[in-house]
Each structure stands twice: as C-alpha cells, then as structure tokens.
Structure 1
Amino acid sequence: MYWIIFIGIALISWIVQSRFKNKFKKYSEFPLSSGLSGAEIAQKMLHDNGIYDVQILVANEGQLSDHYNPGNKTVNLSPEVYHGRSVAAAAVAAHECGHAVQHATAYSWLQFRSAMVPIVNIASKLTSWVLLAGVMLMFARQNPTILAIGVGALFLTTLFSFITLPVEFDASNRALAWLEKANITHARDEHDGAKDALKWAAMTYVVAALGALVTLLYYASILFGRRD
C-alpha cells in the first residue's frame, strides 16, 4: 500500500514542480508596468517596512535559487529575479523580503524554524544511513534501537517540513498585500499573476511535506510492526 502512495506522491510532486516552472516561465515573460527590477522592488519593500540592515545580493546557485538568509540578513535573488522586470520577478522578490519582514518582526513560526535548523541539518545527514542499517537489523530480528533513532531523526525533518508551511504561506501573503498596497502590481492581471505564481510555489512545499509524512509513517510501521 505504501508503495502505491509513494508513487502517487512522486507523480503529484512532478506535476506540481512542472506546473510551477511553467508558471514562473509564463510570468517571467509578463512585463511589469512599473518597470521596476526585482532588486529595486526588494529594496523598496524592505524600506517600506523600516528595514535598512538587510543586503540584497545576486544568488550564484542559478534559477529559482532565491532565498532569505536570517543568519547574515541577506535577500539572495537569482539573476532572473534580481535583474528581471516581470510579474514573476516582483512576486519572488517580494516573497523573499516577506521572510525578512518576518525576521524583523520576530514572527514566531520563523523563529521556531530557525531554531530547528542546526538539529535538522544533523538529522538529515544521518537519516538515510541510519534508516537503512536499522531496517536491515530489524529484518534480522536484532535490536530495534538503530531504526528507532532513524525514525526519530526522520520525525524531526518531517516536522521541519510542516513548520515551513506557515512560514512560506505567511511570506507570500505579506508579499501580495505589499505589492498591492505599494501599487507595484496595480493592474489586476499583474496582481493575479503574482498570486498565481506564489500559489504554485507554495504547493511545492505542501507536496514535499506530505511526501516526508508518508516516508515517516512507512518506517514507523516497520519499527512498531516488527516489535513483538
């Protein structure tokens, strides 16, 4: 049964990722009537929210590598977004600045997520090997401790995926509200396009969280099902 669910989640993930990339491409070709670049929009949103200690940089990781780093207070935009003057560039730049606003206003979910990062980084590096070793020992009817440790680490990474959801949705809501208020996407089709692009970006996080949950339940079923 779990394999059917895994295949279903993988198929949904592929569809959502493809849909998101297509939406990003579509709205990247939709020029913004204000003529502002992603970098200019990011700077304006930060200043409108009283934030002057965050740098806006060009990310070197390539397309769709945009992110906010709370550690060094930088908004990192891919070249397409940094230099872009499109609806997609506006949506992504404002979204990443939404995270900077969350940080500046001590948004609780972001604080919780940031506090988990060091632990989750360690857990994610150990999970695959620990789970593999644990499953092999369980099928050999050995001590379940190793698998229990792996399931515990997987639980942390899954929890992290779900904590990420309110952080991402809130950043998008902040971005859309500001874009409209600041008259950046003043035309209805521009605002609808920005909303559509961010909706599909958020869906990638939802699918990832569901995939992590299914994986957790699968290994937990092995752990608890084999204990007798």
Structure 2
Amino acid sequence: MGLYLILIIPVLILSMFVQWRFRSKFSKYAHMQLNSGFSGKEVAEKMLRDNGIYDVRVMSTDGQLSDHYNPADKTVNLSTDVYYGRSVAAAAVAAHECGHALQQARSYAWLNLRSSMVPVVSITSNLLQWVLIIGVLLIAFTFNPIVLAIGVAGLALITIFSIITLPVEFDASKRALQWLKNNKGILYTTEEHTQAKDALWWAAMTYVVAALGAMTNLIYYLSILFGRQRG
C-alpha cells in the first residue's frame, strides 16, 4: 500500500489540477461569445461540409462535457451547451469532435487502431476490478499468481489503449485548429483562436493524466505480482 500511495498521490493531485483547470477554462470561454455568431452545431456542419464529409450527422446529447464522436454510427454528439452555444468554447469543442470525423474519413491509423480495441477494452474494464481483487486475495493466501496475471494483462491492455488515445486526441485538435485558422468567418480575431487553442490544450491534458493513472496502476499491480513470485 505504501508503494501505491507513493505512485498514485502525485497522479491524483495532477489529475485534480488538470480537471479543475480544464473546467475553469471551458467555463471562461463558454461565456465569450463568438463575433461570428456561429453555434456549435453550425460550426460542426460547416467543418464537415468544407472537408467533403456528408455522411456524418451532428446531434445533441445530454450531459455536460459529454461531447464525443462515434465512429460506429458516424455521429458527432455535442452536449447541449456546445450544440446551441455560440461561444469560443462551443466552436473549439465542435471542431475538435469533427476532427475525429476527418480522421475516420482519411483512415487515420491511430483512430482505426483505437476503434478496433474498443469492444475488448469495454469488456475488460467491466470485469477488471473483480479480477484484480480476486487475484490479490489468491496470491496473498494461496500464492497462486494466475488470476492476478490475467488482471495485470487486462491493465496492460487498458494502459495501451490510453496511450493510443493520446495521438488521436492531439491530432483531432490539430485538425480543428487548422480549419478554424483557415476559416476567418468562424473565429474573427487572433484572440479567439488563442482561446480556442487554450481550451483544447487543457482538454487534451485530461487524457494525458488518464494515461499516467493507467500506467501507475499497472506498475503497482506488476510490483505485487512479481514481488510475490520472487517471495
């Protein structure tokens, strides 16, 4: 437990800071109305059209910061605040999610790999907690490492998935910002573009700390597995 606390506490502090910073940035830029007056829905639809994508639907979804792109049914799902919002934050988030649609249309390798892993990762995530608990108990009382080894393999898969997510998210933001920069009718001023870039940067950082958290858990359970085996 001591090792776990040493590993996890810095990650938890960093995660809380990043989440707070991201939410504060989003809240700040959500109150800065676009000079162009575009809504998030309109930004998304224009970005898709400008890139020759006509088979992707832009939809409104419940929840706050629940925005995502679903490659399975080709939908850009925007939270209500983003879908109807006419702010810098709404434009940035809408363009980012459309960046994922561009990735799929251009057969971006990292997105294809990530999408292929989703079904397995989803099942693994649902079962992993119980596998790890049972594995730790078995290795503690019977010295049998098989179940824990399976759990560690699942953690490794989730860690790999988290790492693969990073280039996917950074590339989507890059595509979004490039399109916004080239379309002066959306973000009129340099200040608006800088604000959009700042919002997407902090959004990306949430994925970075998630990957760090996954790696921390993996290291901890590896230490239990190999520590017990040496003992």
Q: Match of 1:187?
A: 189
Q: Match of 1:208?
A: 210
Can you give the 5+ residue segments of structure 1 that lack an aligned partner in the other structure?
none
Q: TM-score, normalised by structure 1?
A: 0.98
Kindly report which structure 2 residues correspond to 1:66-145, keeping only aligned pairs within 5 A, or say none.
66-145=67-146
Structure 1 position 141, deviation (Å): 3.5
The amino acid across from 1:193 in the alignment is Q
Q: Percent identity?
A: 62
**Secondary structure of residue in 2 paired with 1:58:** strand
Match of 1:27 among 10, 29, 32: 29
**Secondary structure of residue in 1 paired with 2:138:** helix
8 Å contact kept, 1:180–1:186: no
Q: Match of 2:199?
A: 197
Structure 1 position 186, deviation (Å): 2.9
8 Å contact kept, 2:121–2:157: yes
The amino acid across from 1:95 in the alignment is H
Give 4+ residue runs of structure 1 displaced > 4 Å after superposition. Answer: none
Q: Match of 2:9?
A: 7
Q: Match of 2:228?
A: 226
Structure 1 position 8, deviation (Å): 1.2
Cα distance between partner residues in 2 of 1:223 and 1:186: 56
The amino acid across from 2:199 in the alignment is A
Cα distance between partner residues in 1 of 2:52 and 2:206: 31
The amino acid across from 1:177 in the alignment is Q
Structure 1 position 7, deviation (Å): 1.2
Q: Match of 1:51?
A: 53
Deviations 1:5-55 (A, max 9, x none): 211111111111011000000000111111100000000000001000000
8 Å contact kept, 1:55–1:73: yes
**Secondary structure of residue in 2 paired with 1:226:** helix
The amino acid across from 2:49 in the alignment is H
Cα distance between partner residues in 1 of 2:126 and 2:88: 37
8 Å contact kept, 1:65–1:78: yes
Structure 1 position 177, deviation (Å): 0.4
8 Å contact kept, 2:143–2:228: no
Q: TM-score, normalised by structure 2?
A: 0.97
Cα distance between partner residues in 2 of 1:224 and 1:125: 25
The amino acid across from 1:75 in the alignment is V
Deviations 1:147-189 (A, max 9, x none): 0000001111111000000000000000000001011223011
The amino acid across from 2:123 in the alignment is I
Cα distance between partner residues in 2 of 1:14 and 1:92: 21
Q: Match of 1:169?
A: 170
8 Å contact kept, 2:74–2:101: yes
* Aligned residues: CA RMSD: 0.8
**Secondary structure of residue in 1 paired with 2:37:** coil
